[in-house]
Amino acid sequence: MKIYSKKDLNNYSLSLTYDDISLIPLEISQVKTRNEVNTKSFFIGEELTVPVISSPMDTVTGLEMAKELTNLGCIGILNRFNSSLNDLVTNGKNLEGIKAVSISLTAEESLIDQLAEKNMIICIDTANANNAYVLKKCEELKSKYKVKVIIGNVAHGSTLKQLVDAGADAVRIGIGGGSVCTTSVQTGIGIGQVSSLLNVYFTKLENKLDIALIADGGIKSPGDVAKALACGADVVMLGRMLAGTKETPGEVIKYNDQLWKKYRGSASFGVKMKNEFIEGEETLVPYKGAVKNVINGISDGLRSAMSYLNCNSLSDLQNINSFAVLSTSSYLERLPRK
């Protein structure tokens, strides 16, 4: 069996995603227990206990989710679809404990003024960062305010330098990989998440660019979180893994004797509410209880992966350079059977 390095995977003939690869421990681990492992990191000026940020989707990150993720040492990006966002920002008190807010390209200047005054991270929430108007918006924000700016999304590193030149502090990587995103089906755009991430990662290294990388989309488990970080991500952005928790917006629905909550893509009809081109779907996900339990599960899985790989810190994990490429049968073999 060939052991692949990051560079090997980046040069692989096919587009790869998380289910296509596995991490391989190649040395004796000196980590006694997973509790010894340190998962703390810094992301564009913020210290995180677990390298997780939430997707700014209207069924994932409202006020309650954003505040609770801050309490848990993560970052929640408040969604831009909240009709009373201007009032909330002006009030100020309701946004205590929130680190990041998403905006559209047409966000009112008064809103941005308030966000900048409160030192919020601003996420320009668009589907495609390879757009002149997105870059112009980023340039405007960085020239007028002392704020950290996240932009996205990209599937390849070809325009990364232009994003950095526009002032972007972090970029969301991945197009079409979200579980309720139909962009790839509708447009034919997008590649596997691992290939996207590695391509941007090597572009950053080779050009010595100062920008944080966010793996956004396709992450289904704590193991995928570990793989994304080992492939060069600074943090992971989660949607479906956080959906259905108590802190997400929306009511708990009882159907067929089971509890559910709504989950939908930002380009779904339920969000747009008009007859436009739709690139997202709407579904129900099982109710999961407190988001704290989900974050704890991610932390435990990540710590276990790091203990196997003899990694004491996230920087150690990001330097891992031993991967397997899985056949369909070897992937299926790893799945639990009842």
Across 88-247, the runs of DSSP E, i.e. the strands, are 100-103, 121-125, 149-154, 170-173, 212-216, 235-238
Alpha carbons 9 and 308: distance in angstroms, whole number: 21
Query: Of these residues, 74, 138, 181, 311, which one is catalytic?
Result: 181
* Structure token pair of residue 240: 């479906």
Q: Tell me whether residue 181 is one of the annotated catalytic residues.
A: yes
**Could you tell me which of 168, 216, 263, 290 has the C-alpha nearest to residue 51?**
216
Alpha carbons 226 and 290: distance in angstroms, whole number: 22
Alpha carbons 96 and 99: distance in angstroms, whole number: 9
Number of H helices, E strands in the chain: 13, 15
**Could you tell me which of 17, 38, 27 has the C-alpha nearest to residue 321?**
27
β-strand 52-54 against 121-125: which pairing, if any?
unpaired
Evaluate whether 10 touches 199 at the Cβ level (below 8 Å).
Answer: yes
Amino acid in the structure at residue 289:
G
For residue 108, the SS3 value is: coil
Alpha carbons 12 and 213: distance in angstroms, whole number: 21
Q: Which residue's structure tokens are 């080779």?
A: 206
Rounding to the nearest 10 degrees, give the CA dihedral for residues 302, 304, 310, 311.
20
Residues annotated catalytic, as ranges: 181
